[in-house]
Amino acid sequence: DAGVIQSPRHEVTEMGQEVTLRCKPISGHDYLFWYRQTMMRGLELLIYFNNNVPIDDSGMPEDRFSAKMPNASFSTLKIQPSEPRDSAVYFCASSFSGSPLHFGNGTRLTVT
């Protein structure tokens, strides 16, 4: 079991550019979560999906953020346009109903 796979591990981009973060959940898991971690705010839940359907996106900070899950094995988190305050580590996690969440190792995003 490869675990939750996120790509890229590191992303450096300039303000105004579009950024796409990718996540492959563990096979068979029906929940997928996107979290963001900063020093100031800690770990925050942005959005989560159940069976590829977004259930709660109340943590998405602005319309510049969007997330999709076109199938059970892939999800993207897009920021367009990016801003320096979006710099953070973004984590993806997956779980099977009622089971503990499994996290990927994150994407460290730096927006200059």
Q: How far apart are CA 1 and CA 83, in angstroms?
A: 35
15 belongs to the binding site for another protein (CB under 8 A)? no
Q: How many residues touch another protein (CB under 8 A)? A: 25
From the CB of 98, what's the least distance to another protein, in Å?
5
Residues 26-65 that bind another protein (CB under 8 A): 31, 33, 35, 42-45, 48, 50, 55-56
What residues have CB less than 8 Å from 103, skipping those under 6 apart? 4, 35, 91, 92, 93
User: Which C-beta is closer to another protein: that of 48 or that of 65?
Assistant: 48
- Binding residues for another protein, rule: CB under 8 A, are 4, 31, 33, 35, 42-45, 48, 50, 55-56, 91, 93, 95, 97-106
